Structure 1
Amino acid sequence: MALKVAVLGGGNGGHAAAADLTNRGFCVHMYEDARFAGNLQKVFETHEITMAGAAGNAVVKIDMVTSDLKEAVEDVEFIFVAVPAFAHDVYADKLSDIVKPGQTVVVLPGTFDSLIFWKKFREKGVKDVVVAETNTLPYATRLQGPGSTLIMSLFNPLKLGVMPACKTQETLEKLRPFYPALEAVESVIACGLSSLNPIIHVPGCILNAGRIEYAKGEFFFYTEGFTPCVARTTEAIDKERIALLDSFGYESDIVAHGVGGSVVTDDIGEAIASDPNFAKIKGPADTGNRYYAEDIPYGLAPWAKLAHAMGVGVPVIDSMITIGSALLGYDCWEKGHSLQDLGIEGMTKERLKEYLETGC
């Protein structure tokens, strides 16, 4: 009998994960909130997703497509959460009432938000449930239309943080059948600080804001927008991220080594230019896009808040968040998740590392 998994979310990541895992022989329960189910009407009616690209070309039949969350996660061991960061607290709250001992919740990606799930589960008295997060979606992917997903590439390596970290090795072994490229890092904080999107999206979005608004989507973000000055700003942000990782004693690597194609280089501009998949990506079309609305308040801002609490200076990251707030017309410092939301406010570095290791 095929192993059952739940994929929560009907966007780019949810479609890709549901299609890929089904195509590889897993029994998938795909969930989308009833408020957004209309966007998946074709998938609800047919249970079919057409997939193309790096994970294969096929029309797959999803075993279950539902707007009943309890039904979706019933009798599954692994729950993959592929929804925007602003919805993580909502899903954490909903799942806290229905998860069962022995289940593993994986946030794709997390950017620290596995801590929100862990905090909520503890508050509700949930026991024997592991929460993990990846540093990015497993796929570079875009929806091509209703029930149609293009998977341009698969991220390798795909980093994994586990809460509590003492469960890392056993969780990694359980999840490897789904994503063989998984590599464990020291904690969910280490994983969140390895997230690619805030680094490679935000500088280009802020420094190209006028062009993005004018082009309304007819703009190749990486080929037109990733100029030398954008690359230098990206690398400056990356240095601050690495300084924060270093302050915890965690391993780190520069962002140029985590992206790109056939060229191995320390230059992020060269790494981006070497991957033909980046050349295909258009947009964003406006400042409402997730490159702005998610990656600034829910990506960079939590990094900065943690850095401030740990006494690590991140002036370039700070400037991106402040300018981003002016561009978006709301305070990105306030909109994103706080250290209190994550359950780690007021912790010293030593106490935080203990909490990450033991979960308590």
Structure 2
Amino acid sequence: MFKICVIGAGNGGQALAGYLSMKGYDVSLYNRSEWRISPIIDTGKIILEGEYSGEYGISLATTDIKSAIKGREIILVVVPAFAHRDVAEELAPYLEDEQIVVLNPGRTGGALEFRKVLKEKGCKKKVFVAEAQTFIFASRCSNPGVVRIFKKKNAVPVSCLPAKDNPILQKTLKRIIPEFEIVKNIVITSFNNIGAVFHPATTILNAARIEFTFGKFEFYFEGISPSVAKVLEAIDDERCKVMRVFNVEPITAKQWLKYAYDVEGKDLYDAIHSNSGYRDILAPTVLANRYILEDVPMSLVPISSFGKYFGIPTPAINAIIHLTSIMLGEDFFANGRTVESLGLYGMKADEIINYIELGE
């Protein structure tokens, strides 16, 4: 029976820790700030609601990352992608040989950034770094130490960097969560980033409603109207064109809804509104939330950067980045992941693929 550490005690981290405990695994839970994790430190338990229910014990809940990962075969990082660099820096001195670190999800370029930071920090351990394409649950914390799982996805692609290490995921991660599908390489997990399609544009196009109602409306069912869905389709089309540079056929957002939730529709609007898993998920209460702060710099910006690098126009994506930069007063183009910051500048597409698959 594997020992698992979950990094991050937000909506996703609590849901995943509780779910894995429910399945009988020895789970530790780490969070940097004490206020979020203190109820779980006090009780040693997480309460699940929704698709799963019950009260489940956590073997260790702590703000000490060294003790959290000690002796843990698998480390599941469940934090916003803008925190990946910080987590890598915190983990670097304490990682052990043969530990598996999985970003849930990596967004776009997560594993590339994480591996690069570990190297910069002088980590010499043989560590396996992987990323998931999305998070396995739609979940929200309803109270401290209480998390509601709305829906578990049917399948979530995951891959190692480099891909030659994928067999280790088949032996471990696939046994723990069968819904994880081991795919060829991180091009698939990074560029089939559906959060980049659904989250930022929907948030920005509902900005006034969010600010006046503090998010008191259903994000997907009320926030995505037919005209908003057309913008999402344009963003999705640009994402797919950039992904094809690597000779990998993308999955469209509409196809992904069928893959992940088994729902269909005549167009993206219809498919989204056929997904019961999105029911009752409310909009963020403010604009400065992870749908912007994570999905713009760590999803849209790298897709735009790769597009520019390979001569693929991304006007709809760039428009959303520009608007969010204006609205939040932050230059996301400058602060996000780019070809340069990921250490890939100067490489051709086939050289990037070689690095992704072989690590060379």
TM-score interval, normalised by the smaller of the two chains: over 0.9
2:100 counterpart of 1:104: yes
**15-24 or 327-336, which moves further after superposition?**
327-336
Question: What secondary structure does 1:17 align onto?
Answer: helix
- Structure 1 residue 233: Cα displacement: 0.9
Question: What secondary structure does 2:79 align onto?
Answer: coil
2:93 counterpart of 1:94: no
- Structure 1 residue 127: Cα displacement: 4.0
Distance, in Å, in 2 between the alignment partners of 1:95 and 1:342 is 19
Q: Which runs of 4+ in 1 moved over 6 A?
A: none
Aligned to 2:111: 114
Contact preservation (8 Å) 1:256, 1:266:
no
Contact preservation (8 Å) 1:262, 1:274:
no
Aligned to 2:354: 354
One-letter amino acid of the counterpart of residue 199, structure 1: V
Question: What secondary structure does 2:47 align onto?
Answer: strand
**100-109 or 305-314, which moves further after superposition?**
305-314
Candidates 56, 61, 72, aligned match of 1:60: 56
Aligned to 2:295: 295
- Structure 1 residue 266: Cα displacement: 5.1
Aligned to 2:275: 275
Distance, in Å, in 2 between the alignment partners of 1:343 and 1:220 is 39
Aligned identity (percent) is 32
Aligned to 1:132: 130
Contact preservation (8 Å) 2:245, 2:349:
no
Distance, in Å, in 1 between the alignment partners of 2:129 and 2:241 is 26
Contact preservation (8 Å) 2:169, 2:182:
no
- Structure 1 residue 74: Cα displacement: 0.8
Question: What secondary structure does 2:114 align onto?
Answer: helix
- Structure 1 residue 58: Cα displacement: 0.8
Runs (5+) with no aligned partner, structure 2:
none
Distance, in Å, in 2 between the alignment partners of 1:336 and 1:147 is 32
Question: What secondary structure does 1:176 align onto?
Answer: helix
Candidates 145, 152, 155, aligned match of 2:153: 155
Distance, in Å, in 1 between the alignment partners of 2:355 and 2:185 is 10
- Structure 1 residue 274: Cα displacement: 0.9
- Structure 1 residue 73: Cα displacement: 0.8
State the Cα deviation string for residues 94-140 of structure 1 (Å, max 9, x = none). 21111121111000000211112211223314242110000111110
Distance, in Å, in 2 between the alignment partners of 1:45 and 1:209 is 38
Question: What secondary structure does 1:307 align onto?
Answer: helix
Contact preservation (8 Å) 1:226, 1:269:
yes
Structure 1 residues 125 and 48: CA distance shift in structure 2, 3 A = closer
Aligned to 1:10: 9
2:328 counterpart of 1:328: yes
State the Cα deviation string for residues 155-178 of structure 1 (Å, max 9, x = none). 122011210111123323321122
Distance, in Å, in 2 between the alignment partners of 1:59 and 1:135 is 29
Candidates 46, 51, 56, aligned match of 2:43: 46
**251-260 or 106-115, which moves further after superposition?**
251-260
Runs (5+) with no aligned partner, structure 1:
none
One-letter amino acid of the counterpart of residue 11, structure 1: G
Contact preservation (8 Å) 1:199, 1:234:
yes
Contact preservation (8 Å) 2:37, 2:62:
no
Q: TM-score, normalised by structure 1?
A: 0.95
Aligned to 2:225: 227
Aligned to 1:213: 211
Distance, in Å, in 2 between the alignment partners of 1:277 and 1:265 is 15
- Structure 1 residue 40: Cα displacement: 2.1
Question: What secondary structure does 1:220 align onto?
Answer: coil
Contact preservation (8 Å) 1:30, 1:66:
yes
Question: What secondary structure does 1:264 align onto?
Answer: coil
One-letter amino acid of the counterpart of residue 279, structure 2: A
Distance, in Å, in 1 between the alignment partners of 2:226 and 2:265 is 15
**183-192 or 257-266, which moves further after superposition?**
257-266
Cα RMSD (Å): 1.5
Contact preservation (8 Å) 2:257, 2:263:
no
- Structure 1 residue 279: Cα displacement: 2.4
- Structure 1 residue 242: Cα displacement: 1.1
Distance, in Å, in 2 between the alignment partners of 1:210 and 1:86 is 25
Question: What secondary structure does 2:192 align onto?
Answer: coil
Structure 1 residues 97 and 238: CA distance shift in structure 2, 3 A = same
Aligned to 2:168: 170
One-letter amino acid of the counterpart of residue 274, structure 2: S
Aligned to 2:200: 202
- Structure 1 residue 213: Cα displacement: 1.2
State the Cα deviation string for residues 222-277 of structure 1 (Å, max 9, x = none). 12211111111111111111111211111321111222655423521111111223
Question: What secondary structure does 2:160 align onto?
Answer: strand
Distance, in Å, in 1 between the alignment partners of 2:146 and 2:95 is 30
Distance, in Å, in 2 between the alignment partners of 1:3 and 1:291 is 32
Q: TM-score, normalised by structure 2?
A: 0.95
Distance, in Å, in 1 between the alignment partners of 2:29 and 2:263 is 37
Distance, in Å, in 2 between the alignment partners of 1:147 and 1:316 is 39
